[in-house]
Each structure stands twice: as C-alpha cells, then as structure tokens.
Amino acid sequence: MTSKHLRRLVDRYRIDRGKGFRLRDHDPADIGDGLIDHAESEALLADGVRRLAALQELLYPQDQWAVLCVFQAMDAAGKDGTIKHVMSGINPQGVEVTSFKQPGPEELAHDFLWRINRRLPQRGQIGVFNRSHYEDVLVVRVHPDLLARQHLPPALDGRKIWKHRLEDIAAFERYLSRQGFVVLKFFLHLSRAEQKRRFLARLDTPDKNWKFSAADIAERAHWDDYMNAYQDAIAATAAPHAPWFVVPADHKWFARLVVVEALVAALEDLGLKPPEMPADARARLEEARHRLEAEDG
C-alpha cells in the first residue's frame, strides 16, 4: 500500500454532489480494497502527517487560502482521536481547533452562524471544527426542544426550517469558498454496533470512564433520526467546493489515514509554492548581510 493507493480510496469516500446520496450505500466497517492492514497503518499515518506538515509550512506564508476542516460524527466515532493524530505534526501556530458545545445564552441570542463566523480561520491558517454549524441541522433537528430555545420569531419557525437551514449552510460554504476557504467536511461514519462496543469499553476501563456520559445513551436511542438528518445534511451541502468525506470509522486506524490523505490531497491541489522574493526585497537582504558582516565582533 502506498499513498497513491490511499489517494484513490479517498476519492471513493469523497461526496461532492448530493444527488442520489444514501448513507446506507456506505459501509462503516470498510477498510478499502484490503490492500492495507493495521500493522502498516502507523507508518503510513506518520508519512501522511509529515506531508501535511510540509504543506502547512507553505500555506502559512502565502496568506491567501484558509482551510476549514469540519468534523461531524456520532459519539465515540473518534473525532477527538482523529484530530489529535492527524494534526499532531503541524506547527501549532498554523492551526486552531474549536469544539462547539451546546450553545450558551450569548450564542442563543444570535443567529446560528454567529459563533461559527467568529471561529473561522484567517488566511494562511487551518481551522478545525470539532462539531460545527451542522449541529443546528442535526441535534437540533432530532430534539425540537433545542430549537425552541433559539429565540426564532414564531412566524419563521415553520415546517420548511430544515430545508431552509440546509440552503443557508450551502450558501454560506459557497461564500467561504469564493473568499478563498478550502472547505472540507468529514463525517466519521460509525456503525451502531461499533458504538455499543466502544461505550462498553468506556464503562469497562476506568481510565476511559470520563469519556462516557449518560447523555450518550439517550442520543443513541435516536440513531435512525440522526442518520436521516446526516443523510439530508450531506445530500444538501455536498459540492465540489465543499465536499463531504464519508469516512468509514469502525476502524480508527483506517479513518485517520483517510482524513490525513484527504487533507494532503486538498492542499496539494492548491499548488502552493514558497513565497517568491521580489528583486528589491532580495537586494535589501543583501544589504542587511553586508551590514551584519561589517559589524565589529
């Protein structure tokens, strides 16, 4: 297995048009074409992380493109671990991770994209969203009482609200792409059976107990509603300028490889070059060299 192989796999999981998208066509336990195994995945991941770090070194000084990586998933799908591993080689000055939790009073007093806008990466930076604006068409859709807290004028809170929100998200992401954002969205696609195994492991292992919350079981009971909401969200917002990656997540090592390769591919597509020195700037560097060399001591 080489990174070329991996690249072809990434294309398989990339969804850039919503038409006909069905979640059930995607197997959470997929590990590609069987050409890769767990044992070699560590070296491949390290190689991907190295390539990503090198690309980030080119992204930072060009100060034009910004990269936004959105991570969405059910509980225990491995968002945190994936973010930790994939971003581990990157200069911390060039990346910012934001975890979006239940909105507080100030956030609820604004439109749902308000808090998202405030955390967008600046040019040259990689922004990572651990949960995102999509929560407002996922958890809020599954739990209508959350919607009731959003201070929407009743006249606007109609039956078309989800369709409208999805249109607004699609338009927002199109706007971002036209502003020089590379928008990449990752759905870590976990099976219900694997979630059960991971929850049990969290209960069985004292070191992992902190990761378990009673609310997780309550959310699990809404599994089908979540899957429907995810399917609608992906179908309504997948676009060439803001693709989704439906990443099989039952095998953590595989999910991480897919994510790192997708990021590398997107950054390579930008054709980043080290910044070029204009002739006058180079002349100033020479002048600085002369002055330094002429100093005593």
Contact positions toward ligand AMP, by CB under 6 A?
Answer: 100-103, 131, 135-136, 139-140, 146
Q: In what order do the strands lie in the sheet with 244-248?
A: 14-15, 244-248, 181-189, 66-73, 126-130, 95-99
By CB under 5 A, residue 261 contacts Mg ion: no
Q: Least separation, in Å, of the C-beta of 211 and ligand AMP?
A: 9
By CB under 5 A, residue 135 contacts Mg ion: no
Q: Least separation, in Å, of the C-beta of 99 and ligand AMP?
A: 6
Residue number, 14 or 133, with CB nearest to ligand AMP: 133
Look up residue 116 and give its amino acid: I
Residue number, 51 or 79, with CB nearest to ligand AMP: 79
Q: Which stretch binds Mg ion (CB under 5 A): 67-75, 94-102, 134-142, 218-226?
A: 67-75
Q: Least separation, in Å, of the C-beta of 101 and Mg ion?
A: 9
Letters for 74-113 (x = contact with Mg ion by CB under 5 A, - = none) are -x--------------------------------------
Q: Which stretch binds Mg ion (CB under 5 A): 73-81, 125-133, 221-229, 278-286?
A: 73-81
Q: Least separation, in Å, of the C-beta of 214 and Mg ion?
A: 11
Residue number, 75 or 173, with CB nearest to Mg ion: 75
Q: Which residue is nearest to Mg ion (CB)?
A: 75
